[in-house]
Amino acid sequence: MPKLTRTGYEIGSSEAGAIIMGATAFQTRHEVLEAHKLAKAGVETLEQPYKWAFERGNHLEPAIAGMVESRINRMCEKPCEMWEPTEPFQKPRAAASIDRILKLADPITLVNGDGEEVTMSGTGVCEIKSDRYHHGRPKPEWTYQVLHQMYCADINWGIIGCFDQDFKLHLYPVERSTHRIDMMKDKYAEFWDLVDNDGEYPPDRDPDDVIAVCWPEGWDTNADIPGMANDYVEKSAEVALARAKVREVEREREDIKNELVDKMYDAGIKVVDANGYRIKSEFVRKPKKKMVETEDYTETLKFSVKELNNESKRNKKTCKLWTSKSDRI
């Protein structure tokens, strides 16, 4: 939904992940801090980065919300109520523009990103996502976004409805966590202290602190992500070198083939056996198809390489390894 919160005065739910984790795919805490400082000083900022992604989400949101409602209604005896709030939900210096509010007539149970069942009833929030690179679980910043909404709206559960790159809908429940919300409020207090006193975040954060804060329970926090990223880059370089070598060998093979075809043609040879393979090279003449008879013709090269073995000889069959045809006038 459109942004209803006021930069410079309130932290919005889409900023929660960056402030708590340090960075998301779209922004860092340093960028959020700078935006609030400028807004508080009355300075207009440039157009929002990644605007295309937000525009895509706004256009898809009504359709995805309808899919979420239909999915939930199939789980209930009585239909749920869903509506789009027109005003933000507010706490001191924090506000949330919530995509949809859900009111369930019957309890429902969904499986969260950690594979645990969560039962929900009554009223909750619904965050709509369209994700081009979805990997089967909600992103950590989404969880903090929904927790921020729960905090601002005094609600105990939420659902993330994600429409992925394969046109599949995923529903992820989020339970209210007093521990996380308390930690969130501490981070917000630190953020506003920096805004009010023109302070800055340290340039870097301790990696263990980042992991402890940003990864939800159940995530593999021992994964050596930088190490795996380096391994991937190294293997990519090896692949690039191998492909270059293959292209070089293919060019050499093509040069040898062209010379072989010419020599066999000059010698009047159509078949030659070498190292267990039979190579055939022959030019076949075909008259050009025209309305009237003509002496013009097309000469087509038929070139093939077939493996020779005892089984193929007994059955008078050969295994075709490689063939090519080319025309010349």
Q: Where do the domains of the chain lie? A: 13-223, 270-329
Average pLDDT value over all residues in the chain: 84
Name 101's bridge partners: 83, 125
Predicted pLDDT at 203: 80
Tokens of 242: 């191998």
pLDDT at 148: 97
In 154-295, which ranges are continuous DSSP H helix?
178-196, 207-214, 225-267
**Which of 19, 13, 44, 14 shows the shortest CA–CA distance to 31?**
19
Per CATH, is 13-223 categorized as 3.90.320.10?
A: yes
Phi, psi of 33 (to 5 degrees): -60, -45
Residues in the chain: 329
* Count of other CB atoms within 10 angstroms of residue 262: 11
pLDDT over 80 (residue 195): yes
Given a contact cutoff of 8 angstroms between Cβ atoms, the answer to whether 269 and 280 are in contact is no
Distance, CA of 297 to CA of 276 (rounded, Å): 35
Give the pLDDT of residue 320: 43
CB atoms within 10 A of CB 98: 24
Q: Is the pLDDT of residue 146 over 80?
A: yes
What's the helix, strand, coil split of the chain in %, to 5?
Answer: 40, 25, 35
Looking only at the bridges linking them, the beta strands covering 117-130 and 157-163 are: parallel
Closest C-alpha among 91, 88, 92, 94 to residue 125: 88
pLDDT bucket at 211, cuts 50 / 70 / 90 = very low
Does 128 or 54 have the greater pLDDT score? Answer: 128
Q: Does the model's pTM come out above 0.75?
A: no
